[in-house]
Chains A and B, each alone.
Chain A
Amino acid sequence: MKRTLSVFAALAMALAACAPGTGATTASASAKASEAPVKGGTAIVAIWQEPSSLAPHYANQTVSDIVNYGVLEGLADTTTEGEYVPTLATKVPTVANGGVVVKGSKLDVTWELRPGLKWSDGSALTSADVRFTWEIFMKDPKVNNRTGFSEIESIDLPNGLTAVVHYRSLYAPYPRNFVALMPKNLLEKEADISKTDYNRKPMGTGPFKITDFKAGDSITLERNTNYRFGPDKPYLDKMIFKSVPTVEVALAQLKAGEVHAVWNLSASQTPDVEKDAAMALQVVPGPTVERIELNTAVNKENTDPNSVHPVLGDLEMRKALLYATPKQQLIDKLLFGKASPGTSPVSQGWAAYKVPQEGYDPAKASATLDKAGWAKGADGIRSKNGVRASLTYTTTTGDQLRERVQQVLLDEWKAVGVEVKIQNIPSSVLLSGSCASKDPRKLGTFDMVQFASAPGIDPHSTVEPRYSSKNIPTAANCAGQNYTRFKSPEADRAIEAAGATLDQAARKAAYATALKALNDAYVIIWLYDRADIDGRRAELRGWAPNTWQRFTWNIGDWFLKK
């Protein structure tokens, strides 16, 4: 029942966040057109990963999204403020505008499509395509995941422009359920879509259509003559996504003018771009915080949440580790200032909690440890009651920035008398989020772990699973994400209270209480809020930042200044 309540609260928030039927304004129209766009031309975007599939139900890589923003559209989109706006629908259904009806623990959502929509092959897009999309996601055994779709009981089609989606639960993120529609006429007779052209060249309604897919080389998009904002948009005739081996080569090609834009530069490359007037950067602060989580329970498989870590179980030790972490220096030197110090997992949106943790002060760290009885030994490493201050520090293998951060911190912590050993694990294991795949965070087999994970749009889906003591993963129930084994009755009460009310101010205060309790326990060092950094040639215009999406999200507005 509690779960239902909190989901309901989340739902209410999602509904409140929806812009009331904004009609003709669309997400892409919000890009500020400071100068007259020029039509025509080909823009080349360097990508240093290759999409293995572009079909929306198979695609599983960020790079697939980057390409697909130009091709696929869904019913609604997210603005940079985190609000929902309609794309192919006339409005985002809400309780207020009558589009959403809550029936006990179920939910009916009515979507109205814009009239006259066409697929890029010229055939009509109807509400049957909405239902077909759901059916494919449920039917195709190779589909990546069924998030949202598995909550749908049935879809009614009263007419060609209306789809009524019956959810069997109060599925709050319903506006983002249908982010890419799939064409029924093209696909319904296919026994296995993975064996069709659609796998690499999905058909959509977006500004472009995919005309060529050269594996390992390039993906070519050409203007969709049936685009609903045509013939004005898109401004560009052609987009080419060019595979390059590494982000370094991507930048070199950007400098040489061989490409117009580069996806996801590393922070250390930004000075090169900034000093060259022919290039520009777009740095979008994201909602994702890079952090180090400290295990307060004993480091062993299926650890007992109530056990106490011999070193990290000591609050003073955890404090000292924070004091000896030079966040600002890491940001200045390793991220070239392209991030801000982390404060909490909820750094964006209405519930943002931004009370900074204490700053870098190694002397204070040493003093704290001295006072707590951690005495330095002959080798400079502290110990207390025969327990040596020796810890392992884990992150994903092969991530250059994380490895650099680790090496700096290893040194800083050694200077205050804490020995740290790096023990990195491939992301496929470390971030698997599954006990079966031996995710050490789930099993409790780590001392310190550095990672980042994106928060949900509603803060409850971030705070509750991660910091409620009910959500400490155990052998019996592996689902929770409270990896530090943080247990605070105060935080539990606040989280529960936040989930039980619809009052935004009260919820915000409750989350603040919980997050303060979390920070007062010193179980997580918030390193920095990550930013998306993309580079482009100065002549490529029309870019607009979007916190919740990738840089190609408004690709129809891009143009090349002559």
Chain B
Amino acid sequence: MARERFMQHRLALASVFVLATLALLSALAPLLSSYDPERTRLLDLYEAPSGTHLFGTDSLGRDLATRILYGGRVSLSVGVLAVSVAVTLGTLVGMLAGYYGRFVDGVLMRFVDMMYSFPRLFLLILFGVFFKGMTPAVIVIVLGMLSWMTTSRLVRATFLSLKEREFVLAARAVGASDRRIILRHILPNSLAPIIVAATLGVASAIIAESTLSFLGLGIQPPTPSWGNMLRDATSDMEKAPWLAFFPGFFIFLAVVSINFIGDGLRDALDPRHAVKASQVR
């Protein structure tokens, strides 16, 4: 049923295709491009897009298309991994709060309130200054730690509504352990909103990573990420506008695909629920 609904969402389907292509191209980057993404060529600076360099070359003579592919590896995997951290953490907190309720719930939810009350971009910047010269791993953790709260609220809500339902009570009556009840009976029922929130979360994490890198606080060169490529391009905006166009376009392409997929998933899995896609400004 859900699958059929998703398949009817043509844009979402097309987006899955686009995103899969992007991911595949990035993963196969070494096979697709004969250029080394970090090899500098001082004789070929700022070449406009052409047959030899599809997207031109950058300020150090590196093939931009190649760097986009390698940058995609970083940007996409940072997005996915950051959300994995966030979903794991959020599910854990939501489960504990929703299932045990009372004191545990009170403490955890106040903590969630607190995390919500910090302006996220400000915290990101502070962490960026803190870890100046962030590695992808640190960015994943920082982004994950700052974006698990929505998941935890969603999970908690389903747990609160499900834990008194007949099938849970029945399981408890036959002596099932808390662990079994949580993992086998309740959690599968809360997957739908988690999946939707996680998908949209990937989009927002990709934008957050690129914003940080754009501000110079994210992934450090020579490792390419779409964000730090854009940062490098700003000083050459007039000389070589393609340097600013392509990385931004690929961020956009990835994010818009993910948003469409998220939208399709929501229609399919969870037609009543609306999650606001939050964006870092």
* B133 interface contact, C-beta 8 A: yes
The B4-52 residues at the A interface (CB cut-off 8 A) are 38-40, 42-43, 45
Cα of A246 to Cα of B234 in the assembled complex, Å: 10
* A216 interface contact, C-beta 8 A: no
CB distance from A48 to the nearest CB of B (A): 12
B220 adjacent to A407 (CB under 8 Å): no
Cα of A403 to Cα of B216 in the assembled complex, Å: 12
Cα of A433 to Cα of B224 in the assembled complex, Å: 31
* A411 interface contact, C-beta 8 A: yes
Cα of A410 to Cα of B60 in the assembled complex, Å: 12
* A400 interface contact, C-beta 8 A: yes
* B232 interface contact, C-beta 8 A: yes
B132 adjacent to A248 (CB under 8 Å): no
Taking CB atoms, residues of chain A closer than 8 Å to B133 are 397, 423-426
* A404 interface contact, C-beta 8 A: yes
* B221 interface contact, C-beta 8 A: yes
B42 adjacent to A407 (CB under 8 Å): no
Cα of A559 to Cα of B216 in the assembled complex, Å: 38
* B189 interface contact, C-beta 8 A: no
B235 adjacent to A407 (CB under 8 Å): no
Cα of A397 to Cα of B38 in the assembled complex, Å: 18
Tally chain A residues at the interface, Cβ within 8 Å: 30
Taking CB atoms, residues of chain A closer than 8 Å to B175 are none
Point out the residue from B39, B45, B220, B234 that lies within 8 Å of A422, measured CB to CB. B220
A272-B239, A410-B222 known; A333+B234 contact, CB < 8 A: no
A407-B222, A422-B220, A422-B222 known; A400+B235 contact, CB < 8 A: yes
Taking CB atoms, residues of chain A closer than 8 Å to B59 are 268, 404
B132 adjacent to A397 (CB under 8 Å): yes
Across the interface, name the chain A residue whose C-beta is closest to B231. Answer: A400
Across the interface, name the chain B residue whose C-beta is closest to A411. Answer: B40
**Contacts A268-B59, A423-B133, A425-B132 given; 4 further ones with Cβ under 8 A?**
A330-B42, A404-B59, A407-B40, A410-B222
Taking CB atoms, residues of chain B closer than 8 Å to A397 are 132-133, 216, 220
B236 adjacent to A268 (CB under 8 Å): yes
Cα of A326 to Cα of B235 in the assembled complex, Å: 23
Across the interface, name the chain B residue whose C-beta is closest to A410. Answer: B222
* B166 interface contact, C-beta 8 A: no
Cα of A247 to Cα of B235 in the assembled complex, Å: 8
CB distance from A273 to the nearest CB of B (A): 11
A407-B38, A407-B40 known; A266+B235 contact, CB < 8 A: yes
Cα of A265 to Cα of B39 in the assembled complex, Å: 27
Taking CB atoms, residues of chain B closer than 8 Å to A425 are 132-133
Point out the residue from A252, A271, A404 that lies within 8 Å of B60, measured CB to CB. A404
A248 adjacent to B222 (CB under 8 Å): no
- 1/0 contact string of B230-242 vs chain A (CB within 8 Å): 0010111111000
Point out the residue from B38, B42, B221, B235 that lies within 8 Å of A248, measured CB to CB. B235
B38 adjacent to A411 (CB under 8 Å): yes
A333-B45, A397-B132, A398-B216 known; A408+B235 contact, CB < 8 A: no
7 contacts between A and B (CB under 8 A): A272-B238, A330-B42, A398-B216, A408-B42, A425-B132, A425-B133, A426-B132
* A49 interface contact, C-beta 8 A: no
A329 adjacent to B42 (CB under 8 Å): yes
CB distance from A326 to the nearest CB of B (A): 7
